[in-house]
Amino acid sequence: MNKSSQSLASGPVLNSNALLLAILILAVVLRVIFIGTHSLWLDELFSLRFAGYDLPELIKEVATFDNHPPTYYILLHYWISLFGDSEASLRTPSAIFSSLSVFITYKVGELLFDKRVAAIAGLLLAASEFSIYYAQEARMYSFLAFAAVLSVYFLLKLLKQQTTWSLFNYVWSSTLLLYTHLYGIFIIVAENIYILTAIYAFNNKTTGIQIKHWVSAQILIFLLSIPWFGILINRVLNIGNEGFWVETPAINSVLKTFAAYSGTSRGLVIWISLMLLGMLCVFIIKTTFGRKFINEQLAPNEGRHIFLLSLLLFTPIVLPYIVSQFITPVYIIRCTIAGHFAFYLLVANGIMHIRLRSFRIAAMTIILLLSLKALISQGYVHHNAPEFKKAVEYLDKNTAENDLVILCSHPHLDWPFKYYAEKQNISPRILKVGDEDILPEQFEVNKLWLVSLTDRTTNCQKLLHYISNQYTQIDTRETFFRNLGLTDFEKK
């Protein structure tokens, strides 16, 4: 154990436990505040629809129409049967899994480095806008983050003590990961690269596992995952025929990914510099500059642990990017949440390798302020989410039965708006219209209301032209409902 670890270990246990508790409380508070204030969007309604089926129908529908495993939907199915399907209730499981991810990340930091690195990483993840965003969304991404870091935690426990129990924990957690999201495969790939490298390139005596045991574990995970792999292959073939909405990522997509982790593009240089310091510290301390400015104390096997974290961070980024360039586009920034915990651990390690304490405090303060700045905005992390619910409530109070509500048809508008309109049971007739299906005779009303996504109106140009010729604009309320335009017109 290095000196820093010794000093921490000799400190009061209560202090470290109290610090962990404070970090977890912060994580929970930041994830539940305002959790039910923004409207459900398209993907969340898919979650609600799948979760609303009985289990046999749920599995059948997911296997046929969705690209994700059914595990999250099954959990959500039981959750809403107990707690209902309000916005806050639907998103609470994500907040729970996201908060648990903070705890497991702390434990991983303890196993790899020491309590200080663990605490810093936990604090950064607790305040991460990227993590909080998906903690307040009724989708499987926070569950993916939790399952990924849990698999890594049990991997480290397995390497530390090779027992049947530790092997069992690793197998079930990794199987859960694969049943959570396709990107879980990349975490398993990263773990395999690390183990095989550790066995054949590092000192095999300190690896903690023999190749035959590791291969047996992987075979067992594969066998347990065969039902999902069969469904996945079928979906991939269908996507090949039907097409997929994901576009080929540009070269700056990786940079955008790290900007998302950081919560800001302005402070990205600071985050990246600290991450690189955390990754390259074992080499930098051998230089003249490093001996002068970098803390030379290294945790046991720190080089190998940094290698593992680097694999866990970059494999879910680099492999999907390569696949997207040469096979089919699959790179989605939110899906890389599987390995984002490694980013905060590397940044925390970089901070602890700054020699001067005042500089460490300054670096920590700056990135925490950057994180908080990303959170302090109108509407919190979902400040751009269209307010479908508020728009429907407004129409319910201000429309007459003979009015006509026209939706400038778009997938991200039609279903969410109609979902809230049906719940509110508003009286006016609602009509979806795009450039392909304009029927002017249906608009013979004295007053109509046009609803559109403010950044997606190009599919309604003919409609807008017709309305401007036949009706006079009374008022528009784009700023009232966040990226949702609501304009009323009267017959000329």
Instruction: State the Cα–Cα distance between residues 403 and 448, nearest whole angstrom.
Output: 6
Q: How far is CA 76 from CA 52, 73, 334, in A?
A: 9, 5, 20
**Tokens for 403?**
């009015």
If residue 155 lies in a helix (H) or strand (E), which one and from where to where? helix 141-160
pLDDT of residue 295: 65
Q: Which of 86-90, 236-240, 447-451 has the lowest mean pLDDT?
A: 236-240
- Name the residue with higher pLDDT: 365 or 439: 365
Average pLDDT score over residue span 151-162: 93
For residue 288, is pLDDT > 80? no
Task: Find the range with the poorest average confidence among 171-175, 192-196, 379-383, 433-437.
Answer: 433-437
Q: What is the residue extent of each domain of the chain? A: 3-382, 388-491
pLDDT value of residue 252: 92
The chain-wide mean pLDDT, for the chain, equals 87
How many residues are present in the chain?
A: 492
Q: Residue 16's pLDDT band (boundaries 50, 70, 90)?
A: confident
**Nearest-CA neighbor of 124 among 381, 375, 334?**
375
Give alpha helix (H) positions in 253-356. Answer: 253-262, 268-284, 288-293, 302-326, 340-352
Q: What element of type H or E holds 487?
A: strand 484-491
Q: What is the DSSP string of 346-393?
A: HHHHHHHTBSSHHHHHHHHHHHHHHHHHHH-STTGGGTTS--HHHHHH
Q: Is the whole model's pTM more than 0.85, yes or no?
A: yes
20-32 tens-digit pLDDT: 999 999 999 999 9
- pLDDT for 123 equals 96
Q: Which residue has the higher pLDDT, 9 or 255?
A: 255
The answer to which of 4-8, 15-19, 133-137 has the lowest mean pLDDT is 4-8
Strand 404-408 with 429-433, pairing: parallel
